[in-house]
Amino acid sequence: VPPPETLAASARAPTLQRTHPDARHYVGGEFVTGGSRLQDVHDPSDGRVISHVPLGGPDEVNRAVLAARTAFPAWADTPLKERVQVFYRYKALLERHLDELSALVTEEHGKVKGEADAEILKNIELVEFACSLPQMAAGEVLEVSKGVECRLERRPLGVVAAISPFNFPSMVPHWTFPNAIALGNAFILKPSELVPLSAGRIAELLKEAGLPDGIFNVVHGSREAVEAICDHPGISAVAFVGSTRVAKEVYRRGTATLKRVLALGGAKNHVIVLPDADPEMAAGGVVAAMSGCTGQRCMAASVMVAVSGVDHILDRMVAQARAMVVGRDIGPVITRAAKERIERYITEAERAGARVLVDGRGATVPGKDGGFYVGPTIIDGVRPDMQLAQEEVFGPVLAVLRTTDLDEALALQNASPYGNAASVFTESGGAARYAMERASAGMVGVNVGVPVPREPFAFGGWNDSKFGVGDITGRDAIAFWTQSKKITAKWNREAGTTWMSK
Ligand code: NAD
């Protein structure tokens, strides 16, 4: 009989108590079953099966589109100022249910309480932005010629969809649906099948906030559901967030059916540390950026470019990373396969000659034997040609590369095919400005390891980290989820004074 730790989590789990009813699709204001089969949902902190998720396909997507299409006209016809009232009420519900929503994120995703709380708090900020849309999205009007007026109005697209990744079960959906729905669209969410539970709770709270049935729908599933969304002629726009490989597929497939598509992909974020950086700020910032959310952030720092003499900073980082308690300060990664993949990257870098300064392989947490843990890991002496320097690891692993000057460091950053985030730690304004101008990334930090723009500034990367026009949040969201109508009108017959007024 093999010892328990060598058995797959799903093989052991049925003997343990399940904690959530099976997830269901949400269509037209009702939870419904459907789909080819049910897949296990695990709690990554101990590997238990806590629920099951149905894998939907074309039939479930079609049902959701029909429900959304039916609900759309009345919602689009509701003034924007009235539509956002739903989100004022929804925001109050997020505040009231913060602890419960945060606990659900922890349960299905594994992130520690502080990180899960931050996810819900960011949701609240995103909903605040949606509540501000009457101010942000007010149209424009101008007398363009004597007696002739042009006005610009923003109209919804119709039925739209978003596909989200596992790493922020609640926040990434909030990047899209509050704006898309407040702007008058009917919406279909396809959450990650690894973390399907938050979506159901979002649906319940939106209903409680007074959102009409059919305006927010959830179709669970994986590839089949995503392809059905891309192919469905009744869906006008798709926002995707996930890996670059799938982002490319979704962008190609969605635009092939002439949809508007914005597809955010993966990342390999570089943090450049200069010797004059404030040691405490730099060490703390880089360690938080590589280990926060167990490195499972598209904004995680995964390469530190150490410019000449920064060993005094690296020493602090090593001490801080070693002091972190796995299971308390850093949660598990999402699956056993992810744990194995991340540990493989570390082992291969070590074999290729890199030095593992802090080793998170084989991390365990007492009482959580089946958990998918990897501790914070810092690897020095990584060369640019190593896999660890080039590929997205999506775990708490920092590759340290050495250069002699800032130009060389920027050349390394620029050579990455990705372009989500880049940061520089320095006390020199000139050096910071130089790096900001030359970094090939959509989000750049100065003494900030995770340079996520706060609302109303928009979230979005460059290069292979994003396909499509504009960013996913902020003002760009207004353009993405609407189409503009330009109305040119003349009412006074006697105003014929220019070529246009005649
Ligand atoms: P993923 O690409 O595996 O999955 C994303 C979504 O696509 C999920 O809903 C999944 O069901 C679906 N999917 C998976 N495989 C598919 C396929 N072959 N065809 C069609 N659909 C498919 O990503 P993930 O592992 O859930 O999330 C982690 C990735 O997301 C990382 O690469 C991370 O950098 C990226 N991410 C990017 C951002 C950003 O803003 N750029 C934000 C969060 C996460």
User: Helix crossing, 80-96 with 197-208: angle to 10°?
Assistant: 120
- At residue 426, the pLDDT reads 98
Whether 165 lines ligand 1, by a CB cut-off of 6 Å, is yes
Q: Which residue, 352, 284, 349, is CA-closest to 313?
A: 284
pLDDT tens track for 294-312: 999 999 999 999 999 999 9
**Residue 11 in this model has a pLDDT that exceeds 70:** no
Which ligand 1 atom is nearest residue 472's CA? 40
Q: Whose CA is nearest to atom 12 of ligand 1?
A: 222
Task: Tell me what percent of the residues of the chain surpass a pLDDT of 90.
Answer: 92
Averaged pLDDT for residues 168-196: 98
Spatial neighbors of 409 by CB under 8 A, at least 6 apart, are 270, 272, 305, 307, 403
Residue 243 Cα to ligand 1 midpoint, Å, equals 4
Q: How far apart are CA 171 and CA 104, in angstroms?
A: 13
Q: How many A from CA of 316 to the centre of ligand 1?
A: 34
Judge if the beta carbon of residue 265 lies within 6 A of ligand 1. Answer: yes
d(CA 256, ligand 1 centre) in Å = 20
Rounded to whole angstroms, the Cα distance separating 385 from 415 reads 11
pLDDT bucket at 501, cuts 50 / 70 / 90: low
pLDDT at 2: 39
Mean per-residue pLDDT for 72-100?
Answer: 98
With beta carbons less than 8 A apart as the criterion, state whether 154 and 183 touch. Answer: yes
Among protein residues, the one whose CA lies closest to atom 19 of ligand 1: 223
C-beta 279 within 6 A of ligand 1: no
Beta carbons of 421 and 444 less than 8 angstroms apart: yes
Over residues 488-492, mean pLDDT: 90
Q: Of all atoms in ligand 1, which is nearest to the CA of residue 420?
A: 41
Please report the pLDDT score of residue 458 as a whole number: 96
Say whether pLDDT at 13 is over 70.
Answer: no
- With cut-offs at 50, 70 and 90, classify the pLDDT of residue 14: very low
Pocket test for ligand 1, best of 163, 238, 243, 416 (most atoms within 8 A of CB): 243
The CA 466 to ligand 1 mean position distance, Å, reads: 12
**Residue 131 annotated to the active site:** no
Please identify which residue in the block is written with the tokens 């799903």. Answer: 10
**Ligand 1 near 193 CB (within 6 A):** yes
Q: What is the pLDDT of residues 378-427, one digit of tens each?
A: 999 999 999 999 999 999 999 999 999 999 999 999 999 999 999 999 99
* pLDDT at position 54 over 90: yes
Q: 131, 230, 293, 298: which one is catalytic? A: 298
Q: Ligand 1 centroid to 263 CA: how many Å?
A: 10
pLDDT value at 7 more than 60: no
Report CA(247)–ligand 1 centroid distance (Å).
7
Provide the mean pLDDT of the chain.
Answer: 95
461 pocket-lining for ligand 1 (C-beta < 6 Å): yes
What are the pLDDT digits (tens) for 245-254? 999 999 999 9
Higher pLDDT, 491 or 350: 350
Residue 468 CB burial class (10 angstroms; 0-12, 13-18, ≥19): buried
Averaged pLDDT for residues 187-212: 98
Task: Say yes or no to pLDDT of 345 above 90.
Answer: yes
* pLDDT in the model for residue 285: 98
What pLDDT, on a 0 to 100 scale, did the predictor assign at position 186?
A: 99
Q: Name the one residue in this structure whose structure tokens are 């790096």.
A: 435
pLDDT at 272 over 50: yes
- The predicted pLDDT at position 18 comes to 55
**Per-residue burial over 85-121, b = 16 or more CB atoms within 10 Å of its CB, e = otherwise:** ebbeebbebbeebbeebbebbbbbbbbbeebbbbbbe
Identity of the residue numbered 330:
I
Give the confidence band of 133 by pLDDT, cuts at 50, 70, 90: very high
Place of tokens 């589109």: 65
Instruction: Check pLDDT > 50 for residue 10.
Output: no
Report how far residue 221's alpha carbon sits from residue 61's, in angstroms, rounded to the nearest whole number. 10
Instruction: Name the band, by pLDDT with cuts 50, 70 and 90, for residue 500.
Output: low
Average pLDDT of 241-261?
98
Of 39, 222, 342, 397, the residue with max ligand 1 atoms within 8 A of its CB, to mutate for a pocket test, comes to 222
d(CA 391, CA 268): 7
Give tens-digit pLDDT for 359-370.
Answer: 999 999 999 999
Range 193-219 average pLDDT: 98
* Model confidence pLDDT, tens digit, residues 437-477: 999 999 999 999 999 999 999 999 999 999 999 999 999 99
Q: In what order do the strands lie in the sheet with 301-307?
A: 355-358, 377-380, 397-403, 301-307, 269-273, 421-425, 443-446
